[in-house]
Amino acid sequence: MELRGYLIKRGASLEVAEDIVQDTFMKVLEMELVLPPEKLRPYLYRIVWSTYIDWCRRENRWEQLVNEALGPNLETTSFPTSPFLIELTGSLRRLRPHEQQLLVYRYHQRWSMRRIARVLGTSPAAVKMRLQRLQRKLRKYLEED
């Protein structure tokens, strides 16, 4: 609860804060780290904060790429200028319309996982998994080109 509140005070949504705290505890458990109690708390704060920074960078990168490649809506897209954006646009166009729409909801319209889940009639965890699969799919398409 304390770590989650720390992230929320620094701008994370409840959903993101819960995910990051869970990931942090999983990392610590997997490392089988043995620290004295007085050093464990500051260590957890550092891990939580760096994980949140990484998450922000990743989210901003995907948001920027989707915005530049798909534009304000799927019908009218501005012409990409860099070779990478041309490849990315081609890869995004290979996705099914519902997959493109999911990317637009998350990265262009900045909807939360919960809001997308409500619209799609599924759980936030399922939305998160679909987005991860879409990102892997796009990476694969980009590697093929």
Query: 90-106: per-residue pLDDT in tens?
Result: 888 889 999 989 998 98
Amino acid letter, 82: S
Q: What is the mean pLDDT of residues 107-125?
A: 89
Question: Would you say residue 72 has pLDDT above 60?
Answer: no
What Å distances lie between residue 123 and 52, 77, 108, 111, 115, CA to CA? 22, 30, 20, 14, 10
Distance from the Cα of residue 17 to its chain's centroid:
13
Cβ contacts of 97-102, under 8 Å, gap ≥ 24: 99/130, 99/134, 99/137, 100/70, 100/74, 101/74, 102/127, 102/130, 102/131, 102/134
Query: 37-62: per-residue pLDDT in tens?
Result: 888 888 889 889 888 888 877 777 67
Q: Map tokens 């009639």 to a residue.
A: 121
Question: Would you say residue 84 has pLDDT above 70?
Answer: no
Query: What domains are defined for the chain?
Result: 2-144 (1.10.10.10)
What Å distances lie between residue 22 and 37, 48, 51, 95, CA to CA? 19, 9, 11, 31
Q: What is the mean pLDDT of residues 72-95?
A: 65
* Sequence-ordered list of residues with C-beta below 8 angstroms from that of 130, at least 6 positions apart, any chain: 99, 102
Amino acid letter, 141: Y
